[in-house]
A and B are shown apart, each in its own frame.
Chain A
Amino acid sequence: MPSLIDLMLQGHEVQHHSPWPRSAVDAAVWNVAGSGLAQGRWSLLGLWGEPATVHMAIIDAQTAEIAVISLDCPERHYPSIGKHHPPALRLERAIHDLFGLVAEGSPDPRPWLDHNRWGTRFPLADRIDSLSNGLPYRFLPAEGDGLHQIAVGPVHAGIIEPGHFRFTASGETVVRLEQRLGYTHKGIEGLMAGADLDRAVQLAARVSGDSTVAYAFAFSRAVEAALEIAVPDRAVWLRALLAELERLAHHLGDIGAICNDASFTLMHALCSVLREDVLRASNTAFGHRLMRDVIVPGGVTRDLDNNGTKAIRAALDNIRRRFPALVELYDNTASLQDRTVDTGMLKPALAKQYAAGGYIGRASGRSFDARRTLAYPPYDSLSFDVPVLSEGDVNARVWIRVREVEQSLSLIDQILDRLPEGPLRANAGQLREPREGMAIVEGFRGDVLVWLRLRNGRIERCHLRDPSWFQWPLLEAVIEGNIVADFPLCNKSFNCSYSGHDL
């Protein structure tokens, strides 16, 4: 088996792709990459299409080397990766729905994002008008004595995003869960094509509302990589401040929400207050509670003034004062622990196979954190720990988030103490020839990947990959053998994005 670099050398390196190399390969090399993924030597970071090309981003977990390989497929088919490496399956189904490219040999050719409602097929390639064929979606069969099905969604009972869950249960025990997603598919990658940078970053910031900072951050970094823009120091540091505030708010909210799904509402009420404090401080500091549209290619649009700093520090002090008592409450409430410990176990081997990012991976022994593994600035000069556990249950995922709250508090302190002075934005120039850029940024949920090609100051193709693509399938595995009533608890402990996934 060659190393990732050897693999790249077997193809033709594509010019102007930053910061990692991209290589155009033939089907044989494509298959070698597939078997490298299947053997666990490399991890899949992303798999996306163009009208007659498929691209695959791979990381070598040992060396943190990253590479993109591309396979031209003028005949509109390519060898399936999912056949050997299941994490690619849904991505291949999505590529087929959007571009009409067929993954040859795929064990699951069913549609994924296309629910037969668009009035068109293959919308990002040669669009074909089509009427609904009226065929129902085929769920995978689960057969046996006394099994029954429970259908949930797309409209759920809570204030959450839409998706469909099909449970097959034996009494109270879940035998199989199958997800059907795609309900919030808005065609963002279609809208991106041809957009100028102002519009494109606005769209990127609306891929997943809870990760609006992470997406704008990743998109902007990809543009900056493509156009070789040096971002001013102050903007680099402010971006990390925004990212940590976003992480802090969602971790605090979700720790409470997980407890709420175990009917322990006191934690929920008290955590929600801390979360609201962070949102209000963010609003004071950056003029928007979710800090939307602050990060743009070249830098940031708003500066932090004294009032903002004061508001953030006050929120931090408050969390430091109140949060430890809540952690103690979580740890010492036996009835709550009874629900979270040993529930929804994700085995480390599965987390590794799927390259599960965020707290889901880190609660199951996978230490990847883009801030550490890829050390993009300013995280290369900040000190923080990446907490990792291997138990893989709901409890472990809660603890990872508790520890990450503490790390974010410390990071925000460091940033506020060391925030450099200077300009906020560099000019994003224009280049006539095509330039390609890629970026991976650690959002609160995991690593967000953005790949794009620019031409004449406009987006030619932009792909945005949410961490949820590699987390949703694991939820199906995790719930097996648990009782139906524990599903909300497991689901909340994953908190995957629907909109980020459906795009």
Chain B
Amino acid sequence: MRKLLFESLFRRPFTEQAPSPDDAAATELAIAVGLAARRRLGRSLSIREIDAGSCNGCELEIHALNNAYYDVERFGLRFVASPRHADVLMVTGPVTKNMRDALERTYHATPNPKWVVAVGDCARDGGCFAGSYAVAGGVSQVVPVDLHIPGCPPPPINILQGLLALLDQTAKSVAPT
């Protein structure tokens, strides 16, 4: 372990700063998210993720936001374990009828001001699962949604981009829900 830790003192960090086109976009986005988030919420945004019936694809990509390449915590974006600690609910999946109640209760357990981000194509309108006897529909069928991030699943970089859009949107609104 000492060897690995020692090595990391000298090795360049994995966290991406290099300005190849995609990476530059990431860095720009990341800085913008940081500034907007500071205006609105001091210096952090706490996110509670809820899988309301997803296939788990979106969860994998949301997880990836935490890896050393994206390292979202450097911008004050943080995934928290309880809705009581959250500013943002990030909801995935077509909302299944079996999860509807749990989603509503989680929403009501989150203090104001709060925003809901629906991640993935299914979260918009049920995606390819729309019309099933077991599916209630998109997230907005159950709780008010402030932003949809499309993709099946959206890559981590698009999710970051989406959070920026959310912050711009909420900065414009006078009284957030």
For window 98-137 of B, CB contacts with A under 8 Å fall at: 98-102, 106, 127-129, 131-135
Q: Are A155 and B1 in contact (CB under 8 A)?
A: no
> What class of interface size applies to chain B in its complex with A?
35 or more
Number of A positions contacting B (CB below 8 A): 54
B129 lies within 8 A of A191 (CB): yes
**A276 pairs with B64, CB closer than 8 A:** yes
- Using Cβ atoms and an 8 Å threshold, which residues of chain A touch B98? 115, 117, 182-185, 502
Q: A269-B68, A272-B68 are in contact. Are A185 and B96 (CB under 8 A)?
A: yes
B50, B98, B99, B132 pick with most chain A CB within 10 angstroms: B98
* A202: Cβ under 8 A from any B Cβ: yes
A161-188 CB mask vs B (1 if < 8 Å, else 0) is: 1100000000000000000001111111
Q: Check A158–B81 contact: CB distance below 8 A.
A: yes
Q: How many A-B residue pairs have CB under 8 A?
A: 147
Residues of chain A contacted by B81 (CB below 8 angstroms): 157-158
Give chain B interface residues in 124-168, CB to chain A under 8 Å: 127-129, 131-135, 152-153, 155
Are A183 and B3 closer than 8 Å at their CB atoms?
Answer: no
Give Cα distance in the complex from A9 to B56, angstroms: 42
Check: A308 CB closer than 8 A to any chain B CB: no
* Contact across chains for B1 and A329 when beta carbons are under 8 A apart: yes
* CB <8 Å contact, B68 and A183: no
B38-69 interface mask toward A, CB cutoff 8 Å, 1 = contact, 0 = none?
Answer: 00000000000111111111111111101111
Q: Say yes or no: B128 contacts A206, CB within 8 Å.
A: yes
Say if the beta carbon of A62 comes within 8 Å of chain B. Answer: no
Expressed in whole angstroms, the Cα–Cα distance for A178 and B133 within the complex equals 27
Q: How far is the CB of B66 from chain A (nearest CB, A)?
A: 7
The reply on A149 being an interface residue by CB < 8 A is: no
| CB atoms of B153 and A290 under 8 A apart | yes
Cβ–Cβ contact A266 & B59, under 8 A: no
CB–CB B59/A160 < 8 A: yes
Q: CB < 8 Å: which of A183, A191, A202, A289 contacts B96?
A: A183
Q: Mark A121-143, 1 if CB is under 8 A from B, else 0.
A: 00100010000000000000000
- B77 CB, min distance to chain A CBs, angstroms: 13
A161→B54 contact, CB < 8 A? yes
User: Is B55 a contact partner of A276 (Cβ separation < 8 A)?
Assistant: no
Q: Which of A155, A332, A498, A502 contacts B106 (CB 8 A)?
A: A155
Interfacial chain A residues near B127, Cβ < 8 Å: 206
For residue A497, CB closer than 8 A to chain B, the reply is yes
Partner of A209, one of B1, B50, B55, B96: B55
Interchain CB contact under 8 A, B4 and A184? no
Contact of A203 among B50, B51, B100, B128 (CB under 8 A): B128
Which of A182, A191, A333 gathers most chain B CB within 10 Å?
A: A191
Question: Is B58 within 8 A of A209, CB to CB?
Answer: yes
B82 at the interface (CB under 8 A from A): yes
Q: Is the CB of B50 within 8 A of A270?
A: no
Query: Which residues of A come within 8 Å of B, CB atoms?
Result: 115, 117-120, 123, 127, 154-155, 157-162, 182-188, 190-191, 199, 202-203, 206-210, 212, 253, 266, 269-270, 272-273, 275-276, 279, 283, 289-290, 292, 325, 329, 332-333, 497-499, 502
If A119-B133, A158-B81 are given as contacts, then 15 extra A-B residue pairs at C-beta distance below 8 Å, sorted by A number, are A155-B102, A159-B79, A162-B50, A184-B93, A184-B98, A185-B53, A185-B98, A186-B132, A207-B55, A209-B60, A210-B60, A273-B68, A325-B3, A329-B4, A332-B1
